[in-house]
Amino acid sequence: MALAEVTDDNFEAEVIQATGPVVVDLWAEWCGSCKQMMPAYEQLAGELEGKAKLVKFNADENPMTPGQFGVRGLPTLLIFENGKLLSMKTGAMTKTKLAEWIKETAPSVA
């Protein structure tokens, strides 16, 4: 499954105005941990389809949004539900840990 790319320009429409949980993966081309985690994130996006929307966000190409949320390192994952930021984590996670975190943070996904 190809993940949707979110940018500074469409963040409001794709994430803030979305109904239900949205997980945003902030990454960059130079970030080894980001690249290492991406296959697990893509698999999880397929598994959670219909329950949660998982998107990726290139932080280098879109600097406004990361600054808005105080992002200090990559990868950083944000979980929103109905426009509200529920949780933020920095650092790579395994697919299992990522799934657990999403389900704990946004119980509607479980």
Q: What is the pTM of this model?
A: 0.96
Model pLDDT, residue 30: 97
- Residue 74 pLDDT more than 80? yes
Q: Is 34 among the catalytic positions?
A: yes
Closest to 58 in 3D by CA, of 109, 11, 108, 106: 11
End-to-end CA distance of the chain: give it in Å, rounded. Answer: 20
For residues 38 and 95, give the distance between their C-alpha atoms in angstroms, rounded to a whole number: 10
Residue of 15, 24, 26, 31 marked active site: 31
Residue of 24, 34, 48, 98 marked active site: 34
* CATH assignment of 4-104, among 1.10.287.1770, 3.40.30.10, 3.40.50.1370, 3.40.50.300: 3.40.30.10
Model pLDDT, residue 28: 98
Domain range summary for the chain, segments of one domain joined by +: 4-104
